[in-house]
Chain A
Amino acid sequence: MKGTTGRVSTLAVLPEEGLRLRQLANVRWGLLVAAFLLASIGLATIHSASSELPVDYLPRQLVRIALGLLAFVVVFTLDYQVLMKFSVPIYAVSLSMLLLVLFVGSEAGGARSWLKVGATQLQPSDLAKVATALLVARYLATANRRYLTVRQILTAACIVAVPAALVAMERDLGGAAMFLPMLAGMVLLAGVRWRVLVALIVAAAIVSAGLWSFAMLDYQRERVKTFLSPGSDPLDAGYQLQQSKIAVGSGQLTGRGYMQGTQSQLRFLPARHTDFVFAVLAEEWGFVGVATVMVLFTVYLLNGITVAMRARDRAAILLVVGLLSLLGFHVVYNTAMVVGLVPITGIPLPFLSYGGSFILANFIATGLILGADYRRYVNR
Chain B
Amino acid sequence: MMEVREQRDELLRRLPVLRVAIVTALVAIGSCYWFVQVVRGTYYREMAENNRLRKAAIKAPRGLIHDREGRLLVDNVPSYGLFLDRSRTSDLGRSVGFAAGILQRDREELLETLDRYRSASWFTPVLLAENLSLSEVAKFSVRALESPEFEIQVDHLRLYRQGALTAHVLGYLGEVTDNDVRDSSGRLQVGDLVGRRGVEKSFDETLRGIDGERVVVVDSRGRPREEHGRQTADAGHDRRLTLDLEMQQIAARYFQDRVGAAIALDPRNGEILVLVSSPSYDPNLFARRLAQAEWRRIVEAPHNPLQNRVVQSHYSPGSIFKIVLAVAGLTEKEISPDDTVYCNGSTRIYNRRFRCWQSRGHGRVNLREAIRRSCDIYFYYLGQKLGIERIAQYSRLFGLGARTGIDFEGERSGLVPDRQWSERVRKGPWYPGETISVAIGQGPLLVTPLQVASLMATVANGGHRVQPHLALGNEKPPPPVPGIDPHALDIVREALWAVVNDKGTGAAARVEGFPVAGKTGTVQVIEQKTWIDSKDLPFEQRDHAWFASYGPTDTPELVVVVFVEHGGKGSEEAAPLARQLYERYYRTRFDARSAS
Contact = CB atoms under 8 A, between A and B. Distances in A.
A251 B16 CA distance: 35
Given A263-B48, A266-B51, A282-B33, A249 B22 contact: no
Contacts of A1: 1
Interface of B: 1, 3-4, 6-8, 10-12, 14-16, 18-19, 22-23, 25-26, 29-30, 32-34, 36-38, 40-45, 47-49, 51-52, 90, 217-221, 225
Given A287-B37, A305-B22, A336-B32, A249 B43 contact: yes
A332 B47 CA distance: 26
B304 to A, nearest CB: 50
Interface of A: 1, 52, 141, 144-146, 185, 188-191, 234-235, 243, 245-253, 262-263, 266-268, 282, 286-287, 290-291, 294, 297-298, 301-302, 305, 308-309, 313-314, 317-318, 321, 324-325, 328, 331-332, 335-336, 339-341, 379-380
Nearest to A249: B44
A250 B18 contact: no
A321 B18 contact: yes
A78 B199 CA distance: 94
Q: Chain B binding site: helix, strand, loop or mixed by DSSP?
A: helix
A318 B22 CA distance: 17
A328 B22 contact: yes
Contacts of B33: 248, 282, 287, 290-291, 294, 335, 339
Contacts of A314: 6-8, 11
A339 B32 contact: yes
B26 A251 contact: no
Contact of A249 (B8, B45, B218): B45
Contact of A324 (B14, B18, B52, B90): B18
Contacts of B30: 290-291, 294
Contact of A294 (B14, B26, B37, B43): B26
A262 B41 contact: no
Contacts of A286: 37
A335 B4 CA distance: 44
Contact of B41 (A188, A191, A253): A253
A190 B11 contact: yes
Given A266-B219, A305-B15, A249 B41 contact: yes
Given A252-B37, A294-B30, A298-B22, A308 B52 contact: no
Given A190-B11, A266-B217, A324-B18, A250 B47 contact: yes
B1 to A, nearest CB: 7
Contacts of B23: 298, 302
A235 B14 CA distance: 46
B44 A248 contact: yes
A308 B12 CA distance: 8
A328 B47 CA distance: 32
Contacts of B12: 309, 317
B26 A252 contact: no
Contacts of B26: 294, 297-298, 301, 331-332
Nearest to B89: A235
A294 B225 CA distance: 34
B8 A313 contact: yes
A341 B32 contact: yes
Given A266-B217, A266-B218, 15 more contacts: A191-B14, A234-B90, A250-B48, A266-B52, A266-B220, A294-B30, A294-B33, A298-B23, A301-B26, A302-B19, A305-B16, A313-B6, A331-B26, A335-B29, A380-B1
B8 A321 contact: no
Given A191-B14, A298-B22, A314-B8, A268 B51 contact: yes
A367 B175 CA distance: 72
B32 A262 contact: no
Which of B1, B14, B44, B48 gathers the greatest number of chain A CB atoms within 10 Å?
B48
A247 B1 CA distance: 59
Nearest to B3: A380
B15 to A, nearest CB: 6
B184 to A, nearest CB: 32
Given A185-B18, A309-B15, A332-B26, A246 B48 contact: yes
A243 to B, nearest CB: 8
